[in-house]
Each structure stands twice: as structure tokens, then as C-alpha cells.
Structure 1
Amino acid sequence: MFGVGVGLISLSAVLNTANAGNAFDSQSQWMFGDWNGQRTALQQKGYDFSLGYTGEIATLLDSDHHSSDGTEYADQFAIGVHFDLNRILGWQDTEAQITVTERNGRSLSNSSAALNGHLSSVQEVWGRGQTWRLTDFWIKKKFLEQKLDLKVGRFGEGEDFNSFDCDFQNLALCGSQVGNWVGDQWYNWPVSQWAARAKYNFTPDVYAQVGAYEYNPENLERGKGFNLSTDGSHGAIIPAEVVWTPKLGAAKLPGEYRAGYYYSSADAAEIKEASKTEHKQGVWVVAKQQLTAHNGDSSRGLSAFVNLTLHDRDTNKVSDMQNMGLVYKGLMDFRPQDEIAIGIARIKINDDVNDANIRNNSLDARGLQSEEYDTEIYYGIHATNSLTIRPNIQYIHQVGAYKNGENAWVGGIKLQTAF
């Protein structure tokens, strides 16, 4: 009887695995399935194909001085292939990546009068030109018993430095925050540039890294999404970072702590004296830590995060920003993979910007600029293993950081799927 039971369990597991490979099966990690087993076969040979889609809708629900209407949709396709060059060519500890992205749509932060001058964006997926781009084109290899990791090619700073999750729909709570507030020189996804990054692992949970990224404004142009030329380069962004990834307590709860510094060799016009030039620089701290396990299950529980950035006042419009929030995964036993999250961000305008506007007699009718606050709460519905839907509510206080600025409520839905 015991043997029959084991046999039935084994058969059930095989059937579930087979079904998980079918298109539109809820247990499959890919919406289009395993391509009749060919996708897994290709992975085993070293070729891992991906096709991702992110779509974000935002609608103005209410504001102080404008009608509560206006809806926009923006989206992105990301097509990629990861190469395990050890399996393909026998090159030990070597891998490569090619990713092409395409963005479409419109941003409510740009089209709504209530959000005029919004420092953040209520649809983070919008931006950097709605066009096709070569986002990743790199190779990396490990040396010295896998302690040293070198990466060269085309990629963005935020893939390795000041990295952060992008589950929220509001830009001030999503991804590398340095790239959001020093975006005239630090280019996040989907823009790429020629770059090199060296990482050294001192222990299994502590590493340091340094990089050099070409600063080339031509990479932002709509017709140069596949630009490989260095014509138009004006220097480099040089970031350095130390990262600690502990697992704390008896439950081994994961955390990630980052501290970094960046310097730009490119000239930047000073805010105080526009006729002079200086070089951008700044620092950041990122901390995220799981705080609890849900009934002993460490795959569920409460996590917290904090992001801080500080930028030089002479060259940057935003002097500093902070965000913080809480995420609870698996709050309800009947929805163990759903999550609920809340986050708030503060974006501070450099005081010298106001001084410059007063000197130049160009002060906005909304008055002086101080801080903008962006808040979001979302519920992440784990619809299938390949589809997550996050309805959200956002509140923006002092849009554009103007002391007499608008306050607005925005409703949104963010969906992410892997085909």
C-alpha cells in the first residue's frame, strides 16, 4: 500500500510538472509555457530566452484645483537571452547577456494639469524615449576562485550600483534613485552605455565594486537606441559601492545594505554661477531587511526598506531624497504569494535653485520650491507564476515641490508578466 501511495505521488508530480510546461498554465513560470520542452532543453545547453512585459495605467482621481479626469497607459517589452558560456564554449565562470527593450505610451505626469511639474512620475515605466533600445550587451567573467567578477560591455549604472526593486508604480519608490535625480548624467534602464565594472567578494555576504560608465548624451536620442559609437562622449560616471547581504536571526531572514559614492568627470553647469562648470558627485545608502517570518515560513513575512541619496548643491537641482516603506508577503494564508506594500518618498529641491530663480526673475507663480512627497500603497496579486497585478493608490503632496503646489490622488494598475 505504501508503494502504491508513493507511486501515485510521483505520478502526480510528473503530471504537474508536465502541465506547468503548457501555455497559460498557472504553475508555469512562463505564460507561453516550455515550448514543448524546448525551452528547458535550450537552458540546459546554455541559452536562456526571456520575454517580459510591464504595463502601467494611471488615472487622476482627485486634486485640489483641477478636474478629476485624465487617464494614460504606458508599457515596455523586454526581449533577452542569457548565455552560459561555460556550457556553450567551455569558458569557465563566463556569461553574457543581450536585452532589447521597447517602450510605448504616454505619462499622466506629463499630460495632467494637476501634475504639472511633477518631480517623480506616477508611471515609472515611461521615459527615456518611447523607442527600441539595446539595453544590455555585456559579458562577465569570474577570477580568483570566483572572488573577482569583471563585467564589460553596454549596460546601465542601476543594474549594479544603487540597485533596488521596482515593484511600486511611482518612480520615487522604484529602482535606482540616483538615476532618477541625477538623470542628466546617470542613465538607468533602459538606456545603456559603454561601461566596465569590477566586483570583489571579501566574504560570501560582503563585496565591494567600482565602475566606469561612458557619459554620452547622444544615447538618449530617439534614433540612437542602438548607438555603439563613442562620438559625443563627454567623460565618465565613476561609482563605488560596498554591499552587505546578511541573513539574520535563527530564521536566516535576508537583508541587503548598500553604501556608495559617485563622481562625474563631465562638466556640469553650476546653479550658483551658470558661467562656471563643476563636476557632479554624491552618495547613497540603501537598506532592505526582512523583519519577520510568517508562522515560521521565511518565504513570507514583513520587510522594510530605506533609500537615501545626497547630491552636491552646486550642480544638482535635487539636493537629497529619502524613501521608506513596508512590504508584507503572504499576509493571508489563502493568498500566500500575494503582497501588500506602502511607501513614501520625499524629494528636496536645492535651495540654490530658488535663489537662482529670484536673481533671474524667473520664479514660478506657485512660489518657492521645497519638498515633494510621493506616497503609494499597492496590493500585489499573484495571479499565476508568470503574472503579477498590482492595483495601487498614489498621493502626491506639493506637486513639483512648490509650497503652493497641487495635491493629487492617482489610481493605478501595474502588471508584469513573463511570456
Structure 2
Amino acid sequence: MLHRSVKTARVWGAGIALSSLLTGGAYAADPLTKAPPVPYAETDDFWTRPYLFGDLGRTKLKEQGIDLGLTLGNESVGNLSGGSRNTAANAGQLWFGAKLDMGKLAGIQGGTVGLTLVQRFGDNLNTEAGIPALQLTNEVFGRGNIFRLTQLYYSQKLFNDQLELKGGRLPVGSDFFFGLCEFINLTFCGGQPGNIQGGYIYNWPVSQWAGVVHYNFAKDFQLSVGVYDANPNYLTTSSPSIYFLPGVPGSNPATGVLVPVELVWAPKSPLNGTWRLGGWYDSASTIDGGLPGVVQVIPGVGGVPTQFLGDQRGRWGVYESILQRLTVDGPGALGWYTFLNTTVADHRTSFQDYQIALGFKHTGTFYWRPEDEVGFAVGTTHVNSAAFGPNAGGNEVPIEVWYGWQATGWMNLKFDAQYVINPGGRGFNAAGVKTDNAWVLGMRTEVHF
């Protein structure tokens, strides 16, 4: 363990040493959360260009309908107190993305083909440090250190973009829920329903065969409905037939379907925002571990009674998600932003039955650093009161703050601190031993190649 901590510390030191050599403000570029990097300038300046290796012809390809990107996201975190060990961990992901504009390439106006491949790596700080938290303190860890097919889809917009039909391999969070991920604690990152119901709602980088319809029925309003193949084998890390190669929908076997429905209001600038109200239904009736189940007896083969767990009424949940700009402090994105997410899951089947997160971000922290940002968030995850064990009915409360430094046009660094109150709900580990609140320091590095 000491060897791993020293190795991780060296990684931190190398990253900080590199960052201290870099200067100049440039375009902020968090993955999947902001607009793509600015168009490549004719003057190729190493410090301000949007890609580490330069344009490499990608601007010309984009003009022809082929948009390519390669990005590395890395999170180095260390436990200062809480848990059972003071140690550090590092985790990250490298992902390749491609979008093909079928209007430019094949004359099919409104058509798009999308592909995303993700390779994850690293360790889970909660496990390494013995922190019994409900939510990851380095959110990028998870779903196996493997090469995954995260997106492979075709999208077609019709009737002047009023209707969009989309199908293929999709993560449910790509079209539903709250998609921003600007914090390191999982409570504030990605699709919230998947944070507390990860056993059957699969966030990035896991994908499922799915079909989605987006309908813009009025100005600034959209209604979305999706149908996703519910199959736990998408989580496998031992065979590429499902997690990478396009498997057969409904095979191995499927447990049913997941159906999310969402209403979106998206007010426009200057105070633009995205207000989501939705819910989901999953046709399976599996009950999370740690909860009392409903045992029913049905006639079996030869008249022998058969018992099974579950009441065959499916499982469901509701959510709201608000992302809203509060002020316009200058040109472009300068100003204050806020988000508020609330998810309530079916208490009959859910060990974690609700989660709430509130956060704020300011872009342009200093006038001489217009692309730098600062963020703050507080949230809670609740353990079902009907659960077994000492954490029943408890709340885990993370608080997180970070400073985002746009070191170059192609690299963004976030210096981060977390304080997790009652990790696990009431702060008891698996052995029923009370643990302290956790202080976690970290740094997120993001590089666009």
C-alpha cells in the first residue's frame, strides 16, 4: 500500500511540476460539458492552440463532415482523514469521439452517425482508503478498466429539426437526466438516477441498445421518450461480446426494458438554462441488496411450490434537474451559474432512495484570467429507512469546492477539496465500525490531443 501511495504521489508531483511551466489564458474545455474547442487558428501557438498536437488536418475534415476528438481525463485524489488509511489513488479515462455529418458526406440532411470509444484505468479511492462512502470520491473510476463501446448510433432530424429519431448503442445519460460533470465527487457528476440506481441505470461509459425520440413541440420546449434494453450483461468486464462489440438486443438474457420520459424547458440567452422534469420505469422487479424482499409462492413443476423475490410491479423513479445561468458578467460565458438536482427512487426496491445536489460555478474568476472558473457544491444521498444495518435512514453529505485553471488551450486543471460527512449514511463501515468524516484533496487534469 505504501508503494502505491508513493507511486501516486509521484504522479501528482509530475503533474504539478508540468502545470507550473504553463501560462496564459485560453479556452476552457471540460469533457462533455462545454462547447468544442475554438476553431484552429492559422497562427499555431503551442500555448493557446486547442489541441496538444496541433490541428493535424481535423479542421478541414470537420468542414467536410468528419468531426474527430481524443481526450484524456485524469483524477488524482488523496485521503487526508477518515476511512482506515491515509493514502492516494489515481483514475482516469481516455476517449475517442467521432461524428459524421451525413448531410455533407452523403446528402442525407439532418443525419448524424456518432461513435465513442472509452478506455478507463486506475483505482477507487474509497476502496484504497477504506472510506465507506455511498458515492465515489473519484467519479471517473468504475465499470471496469476495459475498452468500451460507449456510443454507436444514427440520429435523424426531421421537419426542420422539430423531430429527432435516434437509435443504436447509447448511454441513457446522453439523452436524459443531468449530464454535466465538473466535480470529482459522483454526487455532483453525471446522470443522478444512475448514481443511486447504478444496478440497472447505466451511466457513461456503459451503453445499451436503445431507441430515443426527441420532439420539440413548442418554442424552448422538448419532450423525450426512450426505450433501453435492460440487460445486466452490459456491465460485464470479462467478455467483449456485450461491452464492446455490438451484441444482440435482448440476449443473455434481458430482464426487460428501461423507459425514461423527460420534459425539457430551455430558455435562451442571455440567461440561458435547461430545466428537466422526468421519470423512468424499469419492467424488472429486482430489489437492491440490503433491503427486505417480498416473497411470493407460486405453483411450480409437478405442483411443488416455488418461491421468488419481488412483487412483479417493476421499479420506477422521478427527478428534476435545473441548470441555469444567473448573471452575465461580460462577453461570452462570463458569469455565475447554478444547478439543482433531485432524484427520488422507488422505496420498495432502492437501497439509496433519494439524492439532492446544489452547486454554483463562476466563469471568469479574475478579469485577467477570463477562462478560469471556481465551483462549489453540497449534496446528500439517503439510505432507505427500511434497509438492514446501522446506516439505515442515514444521509451522506459531501461538500466540494474547486478552482479550475485553463493552463493552455489544450489543458485544464482543477484543484479540488472534498469533505464527506457521514460516509455511508451514518458513517459505519461494512463491519459496523464508526468511521470519521473524510477530507479528500485532488486534482483533475484534462488534455485534448
Counterpart position of 2:361:
327
Partner SS, residue 351 of structure 1? coil
Indicate if the aligned counterparts of 2:155 and 2:166 stay in contact, CA closer than 8 A: yes
Counterpart position of 2:87:
70
Q: Which runs of 4+ in 1 moved over 3 A?
A: none
Q: 1:342 aligns with which of 376, 379, 387?
A: 376
Indicate if the aligned counterparts of 2:422 and 2:436 stay in contact, CA closer than 8 A: yes
Q: Percent identity?
A: 31
Q: 1:300 aligns with which of 334, 337, 356?
A: 334
Counterpart position of 2:280:
262
User: Compared with structure 1, are the counterparts of its residues 92 and 298 closer, same or farther at alpha carbon in structure 2 (3 Å cutoff)?
Assistant: closer
Counterpart position of 2:72:
53
1:368 shift after superposition: 4.4
Partner SS, residue 110 of structure 1? helix
Indicate if the aligned counterparts of 1:292 and 1:298 stay in contact, CA closer than 8 A: no
Looking at structure 2, the residues matched to 182 and 327 of structure 1 have their Cα atoms a distance apart, in angstroms, of 27
Looking at structure 2, the residues matched to 60 and 135 of structure 1 have their Cα atoms a distance apart, in angstroms, of 30
Partner SS, residue 284 of structure 2? strand
Which whole-Å deviations, capped at 9, do the CAs of 1:375-399 have from their partners, x for residues lacking one? 1100000112221100100001001
Partner SS, residue 323 of structure 1? strand
Looking at structure 2, the residues matched to 154 and 140 of structure 1 have their Cα atoms a distance apart, in angstroms, of 12
Looking at structure 1, the residues matched to 133 and 365 of structure 2 have their Cα atoms a distance apart, in angstroms, of 33
Indicate if the aligned counterparts of 1:253 and 1:298 stay in contact, CA closer than 8 A: no
Aligned: 1:245 with 2:266: yes
Gaps of 5+ in 2: 1-39, 296-308, 428-433
Indicate if the aligned counterparts of 2:412 and 2:447 stay in contact, CA closer than 8 A: yes
Counterpart position of 1:407:
437
Counterpart position of 2:244:
226
Counterpart position of 1:127:
142
Q: TM-score, normalised by structure 1?
A: 0.88
Task: Give runs of aligned pairs for residues 23-34 of structure 1, distance below 5 A.
Answer: 25-34=46-55
Deviates more, 1:70-79 or 1:217-226: 217-226
Point out which structure has higher relative CO (alpha carbons under 8 A, 6+ apart).
2
Partner SS, residue 269 of structure 1? coil
Q: 1:283 aligns with which of 308, 318, 325?
A: 318
Aligned: 1:143 with 2:158: yes
User: RMSD over aligned Cα, in angstroms?
Assistant: 1.6
Which whole-Å deviations, capped at 9, do the CAs of 1:334-359 have from their partners, x for residues lacking one? 11110001001100111111xxx2xx
Counterpart position of 1:11:
none
Counterpart position of 1:176:
191
Counterpart position of 1:418:
448
Indicate if the aligned counterparts of 1:26 and 1:384 stay in contact, CA closer than 8 A: yes
Indicate if the aligned counterparts of 1:155 and 1:193 stay in contact, CA closer than 8 A: yes
Counterpart position of 1:372:
396
Counterpart position of 2:36:
none
Indicate if the aligned counterparts of 2:385 and 2:392 stay in contact, CA closer than 8 A: no
Gaps of 5+ in 1: 1-15, 358-362
Looking at structure 2, the residues matched to 177 and 82 of structure 1 have their Cα atoms a distance apart, in angstroms, of 26
1:204 shift after superposition: 3.9
AA partner of residue 273 (structure 1): G
Question: In proportion to residue count, which structure has more helix?
Answer: 1
Q: 1:388 aligns with which of 375, 394, 412?
A: 412
Looking at structure 2, the residues matched to 245 and 158 of structure 1 have their Cα atoms a distance apart, in angstroms, of 17
Which whole-Å deviations, capped at 9, do the CAs of 1:209-240 have from their partners, x for residues lacking one? 00001111111111232141231211111000
Counterpart position of 1:236:
257
1:406 shift after superposition: 2.6
AA partner of residue 425 (structure 2): A
Task: Report the number of matched residues.
Answer: 381
Q: 1:314 aligns with which of 344, 348, 356?
A: 348
Looking at structure 2, the residues matched to 323 and 379 of structure 1 have their Cα atoms a distance apart, in angstroms, of 19
